[in-house]
Amino acid sequence: MVDDVLIVGFGAVGVLYGWILEQSKGVRVTAVARSNYQIIQDQGVQLESAKFGKHNWKPYRTLHDTHQAADRDYKYIICTFKHLPDVHPTEEILGPCLHRSNCFVLLQNGLGIEEPLQSVLPNATIISGAIWIGANLRDSRRVVHNDLERLVIGRFKGELRGPNHQPVLSNMPEREADVLVHDLATLLREGGSQTQDVPDIQPFRWKKNLWNATFSTLATLAGEPMSELMRDDNLQFVIPIARRTMLEILFTARAVGISEDDLPATAVDEQLTITLQQFGSILHADEKRKGENEEAAAGRAGFKPSMLIDYEHSRPMELQCILGSMVQRAREFGLETPRLDLAYSVLSVKQRGFIEKTSSAKPSSEMTDALAQRIARSRFTDSPVPSGTPLNLPTKKY
């Protein structure tokens, strides 16, 4: 039996996981490729991966929009487009296909991305994913990927933890929903992916956002690829601000109920070490990277976070889900996040301009305005520091 899977958004992540799924031999991929539809329809995609090798590939079907894709049912509808609630909400993009599956997979960055779709589809299972990957789409059809590929997926059960937890009220039986998660993980592993299915996905989303809200933001503000950001002579500037930014994120995670067991304070230095190993000078590289070929090294050297690529092309960035969501949660719990505030405020100025230039966008400034008011308001509070907040951590030298 072959399952139909719809992938909406055919950038680097969509291409890579579409290719992986079809390697399992149990899947037919229908791809909705909006901006790069014609070239993929005519020529297919070219995958250049240090992990998977070189491949020319065409999905089972390539379509231009979700209206065309709404001609059949799908076991999974996988969202790999950018989460831009201030431009096009996910439920708007999926519109015609919302009734074509009872399982939606969000392989997207940021926090708080699941609830809007779950509220529209109370009978559906929402699978949320956190991806660690080094891949860029170049020339509309060529995906350059290094050897970093890890995916963690789990069923969305609500965002907050502890006494603030509000479970998702879904009409789908839990057992049936968990089988959908397990089956997807199995298909991905059969295709060669390093995929893990977990009972609680939110700590992994926070861990991924720990990196994104720090290094995607710093690379975008600097206007440089990761290899330039992590050059030895730049580390004196980058490491201290990166570490303190990640601590702000960790404090916020504690406030919403993500415990030390779920996201230990050691994750901060772990993320710094991994980033140095991946993108720093060869002195910081692990043994695997030291043995890579020239092609893999070139792909790593040119890697840019997607936020930076969007900035360079004057396109709306995933600002709300990566930074805005963090600032909003910090304000709700009375926490100070001055570095996140600064980055969010500066990039919001550019974001508004990018949205205005997007002719088909429906810009909504309400979300940004509300957050700006929270940032401007005095944030001093008598509230105790959230339980488990790491204080006076020793600074590790790099």
What is the per-residue pLDDT for 382?
Answer: 42
pLDDT at residue 393 in the model: 47
The C-alpha atoms of residue 141 and residue 44 are separated, in whole angstroms, by 7
Q: Which two tokens stand for residue 164?
A: 């603030």
Mean pLDDT (whole number) for 369-386: 49
In tens, the pLDDT along 236-293 reads: 999 999 999 999 999 999 999 999 999 999 999 999 999 998 898 876 776 666 667 6
Whole-number Å distance between alpha carbons of 60 and 45: 12
Residue 173 has what pLDDT? Answer: 76
Q: Would the pLDDT of 299 be above 60?
A: yes
Q: What is the pLDDT of residue 263?
A: 95
**Predicted confidence (pLDDT) at residue 184 exceeds the cutoff of 50:** yes
Q: What pLDDT is stored for residue 301 in this prediction?
A: 79
Q: Is 363 left (phi over 0), alpha (psi -120 to 50) or beta?
A: beta
Q: Is the pLDDT of residue 295 over 80?
A: no
What integer pLDDT is reported at residue 281 of this predicted model? 84
Query: What does each C-alpha distance from 365 to 34, 320, 346, 351, 396 come to in angstroms?
Result: 25, 11, 15, 10, 40
Cα–Cα distance for residue pair 290/270, rounded to 1 Å:
20
pLDDT: is 254 or 295 the higher one?
254
Contacts of 334 (CB under 8 A, 6+ apart): 379, 381, 383
Rounded CA-CA distance 25/28 in Å is 8
Residue 322 has pLDDT above 50, yes or no: yes
Q: What is the pLDDT of residue 174?
A: 86
pLDDT for the residue 351: 96
Mean pLDDT of the chain: 88
Q: Is 50 exceeded by the pLDDT of residue 318?
A: yes
Residue 86 pLDDT grade (very low, low, confident, very high; cuts 50, 70, 90): confident
The tokens of 130 are what?
Answer: 């956190």
Q: pLDDT above 90 covers what percent of the chain? A: 72
Distance CA 374, CA 332 (A): 9
CB 219 within 8 A of CB 58: no
294, with CB counted inside 10 A (0-12, 13-18, 19+), is exposed
Q: Which of 103, 152, 156, 154 is nearest to 130 (CA)?
A: 152
Most confident listed range (25-39, 94-108, 130-144) = 94-108
Backbone angles phi, psi at 79, to 5 degrees: -100, 115
> Do residues 167 and 158 touch, judged by C-beta distance below 8 A?
yes
Confidence label for 387 from pLDDT (cuts 50, 70 and 90)? very low
Question: Average pLDDT, stretch 98-115?
Answer: 96
Task: Tell me which residue of 100, 102, 154, 92 sits closest to 123, measured CA to CA.
Answer: 102
| Amino acid, res. 45 | V
> Is residue 8 over pLDDT 50?
yes
Average pLDDT over residues 387-392: 46
- What the chain holds in terms of domains, given with CATH numbers, is 3-200 (3.40.50.720), 204-376 (1.10.1040.10)
In angstroms, the Cα distances linking 24 to 20, 82, 101, 192 are: 7, 26, 21, 8
